[in-house]
Amino acid sequence: MSGVDSVGDWGYVDSVATDTPTQQIRDGDAAPPARRRAGIARWIATIVLVLLALGLLVLFLLARFVSGFDPFDRETVDRTQPAVLLALQDLSQYRAATGEFQVIVDTEDQVRNLPLALAGERTLFVASGTVDAAVDFAGIGPDAVQVDDDRQRVTIALPAAELTEASVDPDASYVFSRERGLLDRVAGMFDDNPTSERELYQAAEDKLETAAVDSGLKDLAERNTEAMLRSLLTSLGFTDITVTFS
């Protein structure tokens, strides 16, 4: 039997030694201490790195608190070149009235057969701007002004007032809400300018100009122009003044 002394035929004891399971386990215990030491070293290295990070953070906070130093402080540098004159234009319009308007631009880019939650975009844009009404004096010729011999009566024929292009005020205009589908949001991550408002401003200008047509702004401009001319001609000695708009 294993591990039992036996008496042989010649009268001496033969000791038969075999490895027991306990001895096998002890022989295999050489590796775990090395692994434990490696694990302890990793923990020590992690703790040291954490302490270093905390130390740097404390130093950064102290430096910022004491001297106001901020390594992430940003500064805007304007390297814009001076403006270049492209052209000069003579203005002969008398802008006699200005109307202030506001409109809500509601636009939606739809994708057929897909709901807005998945694809598409809807934007509500609140736009405020102005539209002027002006009378063009450039086309007035010698026949447009008729004065009688005693210089008491004068008749002036002017062209009808016209509306100018709308001017949207960026300080008073803003995007009220914007809904974008999931696919559009993902695509916007790879787009340099996914939410451009150029088209919104163009649509707002068109709607402001449409609103100005029915606002009576041109009639107001003609009345103001007539009042200005009457005041000017009265100071020149005219008593009978007639202003017409063709």
Domain ranges of the chain: 5-67, 93-245
- pLDDT of the residue at 187: 63
Q: Tell me the backbone φ, ψ of residue 88, rounded to 5 degrees.
A: -115, 140
Q: How far apart are CA 195 and CA 180, in angstroms?
A: 10
Torsion sign across C-alpha atoms 39, 40, 42, 47? positive
pLDDT digits (tens, 9 = 90+) for 75-124: 788 888 888 888 777 778 889 999 999 999 988 776 777 666 676 678 89
What does the pLDDT read at residue 108? 75
- Which residues are CB-neighbours of 241 under 8 A, at least 6 positions away? 153, 154, 156, 229, 230, 233, 234
Using a cut of 0.85, tell me whether the model's pTM lies above it: no
- Residue 209 CA: distances (Å) to CA of 111, 164, 174, 220: 30, 8, 19, 16
Q: Within the chain, which residues score under 70 in pLDDT?
A: 1-32, 63-73, 110, 114-117, 119-120, 181, 183-196
pLDDT at 9: 46
Among the listed residues 149, 138, 140, the one whose alpha carbon sits nearest the alpha carbon of residue 238 = 149
Q: Which residues on neighbouring strands pair with residue 126, listed in sequence order? A: 104, 174
Instruction: Give the per-residue pLDDT at 127.
Output: 94
Phi, psi of 170 (to 5 degrees): -70, -25
